[in-house]
Amino acid sequence: MSRALQQSDEFFHAARALGWPVERGRAPCGTCWIEQRRRLPLFGPVRLISRAPAGTGWLAAAARPGPLLLNAEEGRDADLWRAGFWPILTPATLATLPLGPEAQMRARLRQKWRNRLNAAQRAGVTVKASALPADPRHWLLAAEAEQAQRRGYRGWPASLCAAWAETSAGAARLFVAHGEGATLAGAVVLLHGSTATWQVAVSLPEGRRTHAMNALLWEAMCWAAEQGYDRLDLGTIETKTAGGLAAFKLGTGAEPVRLGGTWLHHPVLAPMARRAPPAWAWPQGEPGSPAPARLTR
């Protein structure tokens, strides 16, 4: 079964190990979900259901008293309006890569990406795969935390990967690229259901020169496909504000998938939302277009 990282059993166990306030929900129709507890300005304590499950039969059960934020997995605006949800943050776009036979994946590579992969292989870049140690001080996790601070982006803390490794044995995979006896780059892939998620990636200066990250991602793709995973989630893309990273992800043959945006259910706003015209929601825009604000975690 393919579920988003935030709705997987592996995420629930890792979050609990870190002491995060997460709970499971279940509707009478049988749909299950994982929700997080947050405290936000203006709203105070809120519940967050991120990458919400498909279908609509569970929404009434989820929208119990108190503010609820929902990151919709797919665009179903009319159903959310009818359930009393109000759109507040614009949708993100993900790069999702179908996995399969190596020949098919290589054929989907864009020419520039394939050329860089070939250059890395000619330069003697090799990649080693292993289980990630359950150590939050691992060099790659420390490097990722430093990189996030330096570049000013926010995502899941690196400690999530270590907790994932601790609570779901073998489900956090470490890929490290080497060349001429030196470490060039590293990445962590988190496994959940039939999906693999590209979670952490750091390239050192020599790794950037030798295109080690292309070799690293390619080996991760091939490994995950051989293990029977059917897709690789490469995370969000923004073609205007982070064009280089978006090109790197889409160069693999990944497909841009637009999510459904962030919606608020609040007892005061719900009656108005049910009467609001669907045209009040955001425009569809282009895949990968930037959003002024998003809550994607």
- If asked whether residues 120 and 183 sit together in one domain, one would say yes
- The pLDDT of residue 82 is 86
Instruction: Please state, in angstroms and rounded to a whole number, the distance separating the CA atoms of residues 294 and 291.
Output: 7
- Domain contains 98: yes
Task: Give yes or no: residues 71 and 199 share one domain.
Answer: no
Structure tokens at 79: 């159903």
Question: Under a CB-based contact definition with an 8 Å cutoff, are residues 95 and 250 in contact?
Answer: yes
65 found inside a domain = yes
Give the pLDDT band of residue 52 (cuts 50, 70, 90): confident
- Residue 30 φ/ψ region, left for φ over 0, alpha for ψ in the -120 to 50 degree band, beta for the rest: left
Contact present, 234 and 246 (Cβ < 8 Å) = no
pLDDT on residue 272: 80
pLDDT at 278: 60
Same domain, 104 and 183: yes
Same structural domain for residues 107 and 223?
yes
CA distance 45 to 48: 10
Pairing of the two strands 182-192 and 172-179: antiparallel
- Paired tokens of 296: 């994607």
Residue-number span of the structural domain to which 179 is assigned = 94-256
- pLDDT on residue 78: 82
Q: What is the CATH number of the domain that holds 165?
A: 3.40.630.30
CA distance 187 to 35: 27
Helix spans in the chain (H): 9-17, 59-62, 77-82, 102-108, 111-122, 139-151, 159-167, 205-209, 212-226, 243-250, 270-275
Q: Is residue 285 part of a domain?
A: no
Q: How many CB atoms lie within 10 A of CB 278?
A: 11
Q: Which amino acid is residue 194, in one-letter code?
A: S
The encoded tokens of residue 19 equal: 């002491």
Mark whether 142 and 48 lie in a shared domain: no
Q: What is the pLDDT of residues 120-176, one digit of tens each?
A: 999 999 999 999 999 999 999 999 999 988 888 888 998 999 999 999 999 999 999
pLDDT at 185: 98
Asked whether residue 153 is domain-assigned, the answer is yes
Mean pLDDT of 65-93: 87
* Residue 213 placed within a domain: yes
pLDDT value at residue 176 = 98
Per-residue pLDDT, averaged over 249-272, amounts to 91
Confidence of residue 43 (pLDDT cuts 50, 70, 90): confident
Are 83 and 45 part of one and the same domain?
yes
Which strands, in side-by-side order, build the sheet including 126-131?
Answer: 126-131, 172-179, 182-192, 195-203, 231-236, 93-98, 255-258
CA dist., res. 21 & res. 103, Å (int):
44
For the cut 90, the answer to whether the pLDDT of residue 79 exceeds it is no
pLDDT value at 296 more than 80 = no
Are 37 and 121 in a shared domain?
A: no
Confidence (pLDDT) at 287: 43
Q: Is residue 103 assigned to a domain?
A: yes
Matching residue, tokens 């979670």: 199
Distances (CA, A) of 187 to 64, 94, 170, 202, 254: 40, 18, 15, 6, 18
Average pLDDT of the chain is 89
Question: Can you give the pLDDT at residue 15?
Answer: 98
Indicate if 208 and 108 belong to the same structural domain: yes
Q: What percent of the chain has pLDDT over 90?
A: 65
Distances (CA, A) of 184 to 176, 214, 266, 270, 297: 8, 11, 49, 52, 29
Model pLDDT for residues 185-220, shown as the tens digit of each residue: 999 999 999 999 999 999 999 999 999 999 999 999
Residues 84 and 103 in one domain: no
pLDDT band at 286 (very low <50, low <70, confident <90, very high): very low
Structural domains in the chain (count): 2
How many helices and strands, by DSSP H and E, does the chain display? Answer: 11, 13
> Which candidate, 92, 123, 129, 95, places its Cα nearest to that of 252?
95
Same domain? For 105 and 237 the reply is yes
Position 163 scores a pLDDT of 98
**Span 207-258, pLDDT tens digits:** 999 999 999 999 999 999 999 999 999 999 988 878 999 999 999 999 999 9
Q: Is residue 286 part of a domain?
A: no
- In this prediction, residue 270 carries a pLDDT of 82
Does 290 score more than 50 pLDDT? no
Q: Is pLDDT at 183 greater than 80 in this prediction? A: yes
Report whether pLDDT(17) > 50: yes
Is there a domain that residue 207 lies in? yes
Mean pLDDT of 250-275: 89
One domain, residues 178 and 113: yes
Query: Do 177 and 153 lie in a common domain?
Result: yes
